[in-house]
Chain A
Amino acid sequence: MRSEQEMNQVIERYADTVRRLCLVHLKNPSDTEDVFQTVFLRYLLSSTAFESEAHEKAWFIRVTINACRDWMRHLLRSSTVPLEELLDQPQEISPEHREVLEAVLALPGKYRDVVYLHYYEGYSAVEISGILGRKVNTIYTLLTRARKLLRDQLGGEELG
């Protein structure tokens, strides 16, 4: 079991990443809190030795995505709510950014992870394939289609 000091360090280091992934997947704030705590509990109980911070971050991303998926398998919890409710900090999101987030959340689930991991976390398709356990070509395809959907939704700017 990890020490309290280790837990405080990883909460500071990965809380935002876990929170964003929860936003991408989950439908309400209470689900977010449950999954958020589940992820850190898994870390607390995990005996995995990480080779580097990048390895540790990839672990958190993978565990969070899996925890979100597990959570969403419970159909009763899948009722959707507006972004204002989903974000328990609506006043801090500017209207422009809310539009972008809403566009991402409106994407089919299979695109959301790759969009977040590529455009926000900066992972390459190869790295995303390692994290999500999917083929590199599939990641490329998902990124291309997500890019098109977002362009259609948000306007003509080309995504990098």
Chain B
Amino acid sequence: MDKRLREAFDEVRADEALKERTRAFLAGKTAKRHPRPVWRLAAACLTLLALAGGALLWTTPVAAVSVDVNPSLELALNCFDRVVEVEGRNADGEALASALQVKYLRYTDALEQILTTTQMERYLDQAQVSITVAGADESKSQALLAGAQACTKGLGNVSCHCGSMEEATAARKAGLSLGKYQAFLELQALDPSITAQDIQNLTMRQIRDWINRLSGQQAGSVPGNTGDAGQSAGGNSCGSISDHGHQHGHGG
């Protein structure tokens, strides 16, 4: 009987037509579920990469602009010259940074806004405002400097300087803005015992006076004196770190 059962079942088979219809049915299902064509996937990947790359370009700082009076501010710029970060380098600077709305503005617009704030306006007539720019290379630094000079033209007591990103990095490590760091290097060249902490809370005018006094030039004040004397003058070319050869000139 078991043999009869086996033989009986053995005669039941899936015919070729059924198999073929099943293959066609499965092929239809596979086509519906088939992954998107490779080119569409590639396009999606490229779009994602472009977006990620764009976001990275947009958010990565590649240049810096520091604004120093007594408030010391540093603006980090992306490759489109837009402000991506604003940091105060001293207490006044932090207070000013928190009051500003300059993120993602062009740095020239940001500078205009900074220089016209109530906190800054009072310095423009009586103190020295130092704007220092640093780009990834000399030509970028020069371009940034030209922009800074153009937007500060006509403003009294504003001088624009040029630095490098290496200096900007070293300044950050020293807890100073780029402008103050450059002034600090000048001071230190005249008196190696001077430390970054010594100048951290001085105004640019005080630092400049100190430099003038040490370099034997006529100085109207000593540190702590906010007198009006002694600004150095010069061109606007970018300097290097090694010789601290930055030069500065009045924006107006």
When A20-B9, A87-B12, A116-B9 are in contact, do A159 and B2 touch as well, CB less than 8 Å?
yes
- B33 at the binding interface (Cβ < 8 Å): yes
Residues of A within 8 A of B7 (CB): 97, 100
* Segment of B21-29, B42-50, B128-136, B186-194 engaged in the interface with chain A: B21-29
State whether A154 touches B4 (Cβ < 8 A): yes
- A51 at the binding interface (Cβ < 8 Å): no
B30 touches which of A4, A93, A116, A151 (Cβ 8 Å): A4
B18 touches which of A4, A19, A23, A150 (Cβ 8 Å): A19
B5 touches which of A8, A93, A100, A158 (Cβ 8 Å): A100
Which chain B residue has the least Cβ–Cβ distance from A99? B8
Least Cβ distance of B87 to chain A in Å? 52
Name the prevailing secondary structure of the A interface residues: helix
Which chain A residue has the least Cβ–Cβ distance from B5? A119
- Most central of A97, A150, A157 by chain B CB within 10 Å: A97
State whether B14 touches A159 (Cβ < 8 A): no
- B13 at the binding interface (Cβ < 8 Å): yes
State whether A18 touches B14 (Cβ < 8 A): yes
State whether B26 touches A101 (Cβ < 8 A): no
State whether A160 touches B12 (Cβ < 8 A): no
What separation, in Å, do the CA atoms of A126 and B25 have in the docked complex? 36
- B1 at the binding interface (Cβ < 8 Å): yes
State whether B30 touches A44 (Cβ < 8 A): yes
When A159-B2, A160-B1 are in contact, do A40 and B13 touch as well, CB less than 8 Å?
no
State whether B8 touches A97 (Cβ < 8 A): yes
Residues of A within 8 A of B33 (CB): 1
Interface size on B, residues (CB 8 A): 25
When A19-B14, A97-B11 are in contact, do A41 and B6 touch as well, CB less than 8 Å?
no
B19 touches which of A11, A92, A116 (Cβ 8 Å): A11
Least Cβ distance of A71 to chain B in Å? 16
State whether A120 touches B14 (Cβ < 8 A): no
What separation, in Å, do the CA atoms of A8 and B29 have in the docked complex? 15
The number of A-B residue pairs with CB atoms under 8 Å apart is 95
Residues of A within 8 A of B243 (CB): none
State whether A44 touches B23 (Cβ < 8 A): no
- Most central of B5, B11, B13, B25 by chain A CB within 10 Å: B5
Residues of A within 8 A of B22 (CB): 11, 15, 33, 36-37, 40
- A96 at the binding interface (Cβ < 8 Å): yes
Residues of A within 8 A of B5 (CB): 100, 104, 115, 119-120, 150, 159
What separation, in Å, do the CA atoms of A114 and B30 have in the docked complex? 34
Least Cβ distance of A153 to chain B in Å? 10
- A79 at the binding interface (Cβ < 8 Å): no
Residues of B within 8 A of A16 (CB): 12-14
State whether B8 touches A101 (Cβ < 8 A): yes
State whether A159 touches B29 (Cβ < 8 A): no
What separation, in Å, do the CA atoms of A97 and B7 have in the docked complex? 7
When A16-B13, A23-B12 are in contact, do A33 and B1 touch as well, CB less than 8 Å?
no
Least Cβ distance of A91 to chain B in Å? 11
Beyond A15-B13, A44-B29, list 5 extra A-B contacts (CB 8 Å).
Answer: A1-B30, A36-B14, A37-B22, A89-B15, A98-B8
Top 8 A-B pairs, shortest CB-CB distance: A15-B14, A100-B8, A97-B8, A19-B14, A157-B1, A160-B2, A120-B9, A119-B5
